[in-house]
Amino acid sequence: MIWLFRNFRWFSYLDVAIQRWAAADDMILALDELGETIHRKVTEGRVSSDQVGAWKAEIHRLNDEIGPLSKAFSDSLGEGSRFINIALTLANLATAALLILLAVWRTRKLLAQRQAFQNALNAERERAQITLASIGQAVISTNSDGRLDYMNAVAERLLAHTFELARGKPIASLFKLVDKDSGVEETQWIERLLAGEPRRSNARPRLLQRADGSVVPIALTGAPLLVSGEVVGAVLAFHDMTREQDYIERLSWQASHDELTGLANRRDFESRLQKAIQDLHHRPGQHALMYLDLDQFKLVNDTCGHAAGDQLLRQVSILLGNDLRPGDILARLGGDEFGVLLLDCSLDLAADIAERMRATIQDLHFSWTGRPFAISVSIGMVQIVDAKVTLEETLQAADVACYMAKEKGRNRVQLHSDSDTALRERFTEMA
């Protein structure tokens, strides 16, 4: 009642009920006071029969006055309840009517949108058919059974079939579509076209396998051929992707390889080194990183020119690769600097490989226009066992070790060690 009083006092039915309640409260308080008086008098033992009669009369009077107030309170709440029920019923009916109107309006709007979409789709299909008939790419069309009924000259060259011999044959007998990555043949694609489902050009590479077994990378776009709303065939447009694929593969190779030597470049090498370090978090192991710097490269370059320097770098890259294990990574980091990453390699084995590489380069008899050169290499090596070390710290440690190999007379292998005072001093200078 307190909550109703605070929040709905303004409502007429509740206001009347609260007034009846308040009036009854006064009489209940009067009864309470009378009861206290009776209790006190009876306890004192000073009660006469006249007094008792007066009390009874007062009780009956108060009761007679409270009764009508109680009934008025109940009637007021009942009337309010009936009014609320009627109001809620009317609100529900109004809401239902509004929802029906909204549903009808929304349905008509959806139907109009669907019709507009269908009209736009039909217009787009007609424009596509005109475009496919005039482009310079390979274009073929089929009837409703999936048999070829037209192909242009470009399509004849692409499919290695003449139109006269291919006409009327099922499309599946002329070529197949194969996923370039998985090698799985695509099936049911012509059936989907004839069912009215257009085929968009896909970014994933596709191979067109001709009847003679040869394959050509292609991009394929297809659309159902509609006449008066009925599918009577399909139109296919092929784009020969041979040049594009060659260009993409060449760019991909150039992005990760050194053009002169064919080795991995610095970017690819650092990416693989970073992955090797991160893998130590999940699988403990040990790797070895080498930093190689040719000792006589500047002399060759300055006296004989860049052509001689390039030839020397190519020979060195071949010789270094011969001393590595399968899976080891050799990269040209720039100029006459090379990097080697030995995966899952103990320190002793890494030192042995480094010494073999040093000896191999020392034994290289390089000459240019009859002039011989003594070639050697300084190698800085660092062991990788801690997953917390960063890529920059690892490369810097190998670089410092290589620098110290040159400082100590060149043509040697220098292992990075935290206990080496000279290495620590050089590392501090670089920092």
Distance CA 304, CA 291 (A): 26
Provide mean pLDDT across the span 426-431: 66
pLDDT value for 423? 61
Rounded to 5°, the CA angle 178-184-185 comes to 50
Distance CA 220, CA 193 (A): 12
Nearest CA-CA partner of 31 in 66, 71, 62, 57 = 62
Report residue 9's pLDDT band, with 50, 70 and 90 as the boundaries: low
3-state secondary structure of 384: strand
φ and ψ at 240, to 5 degrees?
Answer: -70, 115
pLDDT value for 361? 94
Could you tell me the two tokens for 416? 């990075």
pLDDT value for 347? 92
Torsion of the alpha carbons at 213, 217, 219 and 223, rounded to the nearest 10: 0
The secondary structure of 163-192 as a DSSP string is HHHHTTSBHHHHEEEEETTT-PBP-SHHHH
pLDDT value for 173? 86
Q: Is the pLDDT of residue 419 over 60?
A: no
Report residue 265's pLDDT band, with 50, 70 and 90 as the boundaries: very high
More confident residue, 219 or 286: 286
- Of 80-89, 314-323, 422-431, the poorest mean pLDDT is in 422-431
Residues in the chain: 431
More confident residue, 8 or 367: 367
Give per-residue pLDDT as tens, 13-72: 677 777 777 777 888 888 888 898 888 888 888 778 888 888 898 888 888 888 887 787
- Estimate to the nearest angstrom the gap between the alpha carbon of 146 and the chain centroid: 38
Rounded to 5°, the CA angle 117-122-126 comes to 145
Q: Is 336 noted as a catalytic residue in this protein?
A: yes
State how beta strands 175-179 and 206-210 pair.
antiparallel
* 202 in Cβ contact with 186 (< 8 Å): no
Provide mean pLDDT across the span 154-166: 87
Integer-rounded Cα radius of gyration of the chain: 48
**Residue that the structure tokens 């005072």 belong to:** 421
Provide mean pLDDT across the span 127-146: 74
Distance CA 41, CA 58 (A): 16
By the 10 Å C-beta count (0-12 exposed, 13-18 middle, 19+ buried), 59 is classed as middle
Give per-residue pLDDT as tens, 335-391: 999 999 999 999 999 999 999 999 999 999 899 988 999 999 999 999 999 888 899
Rounded to 5°, the CA angle 328-360-365 comes to 135
* 300 in Cβ contact with 336 (< 8 Å): no
pLDDT value for 205? 66
Percent residues over pLDDT 70 in the chain: 91
Number of H helices and E strands in the chain, helices first, is 14, 13
The secondary structure of 61-79 as a DSSP string is HHHHHHHHHHHHHHHHHHH
pLDDT value for 220? 84
Distance CA 307, CA 301 (A): 8
Give the count of beta carbons closer than 10 Å to the beta carbon of residue 342. Answer: 25
Report residue 129's pLDDT band, with 50, 70 and 90 as the boundaries: low
- What pTM, to 2 d.p., does this model score? 0.53
pLDDT value for 213? 83
Distance CA 385, CA 345 (A): 10
pLDDT value for 330? 95
pLDDT value for 70? 79
Distance CA 398, CA 306 (A): 27
Beta carbons within 8 Å of 27's beta carbon, 6+ residues apart:
62, 65, 66, 69
Report residue 412's pLDDT band, with 50, 70 and 90 as the boundaries: very high
Kindly list the distances between the CA atom of residue 394 and the CA atoms of 33, 88, 152, 229, 277, in Å, as whole numbers in the listed order: 96, 77, 61, 68, 9
The secondary structure of 208-269 as a DSSP string is EEETTS-EEEEEEEEEEEEETTEEEEEEEEEEE-HHHHHHHHHHHHHHHB-TTT-SB-HHHH
* 379 in Cβ contact with 354 (< 8 Å): yes
Provide mean pLDDT across the span 282-311: 91
Q: Catalytic: which of 336, 363, 399, 418?
A: 336
Give the count of beta carbons closer than 10 Å to the beta carbon of residue 151. Answer: 22
Give per-residue pLDDT as tens, 72-123: 777 777 777 787 788 889 999 999 999 999 999 999 999 999 999 998 888 8
Rounded to 5°, the CA angle 130-136-142 comes to 55
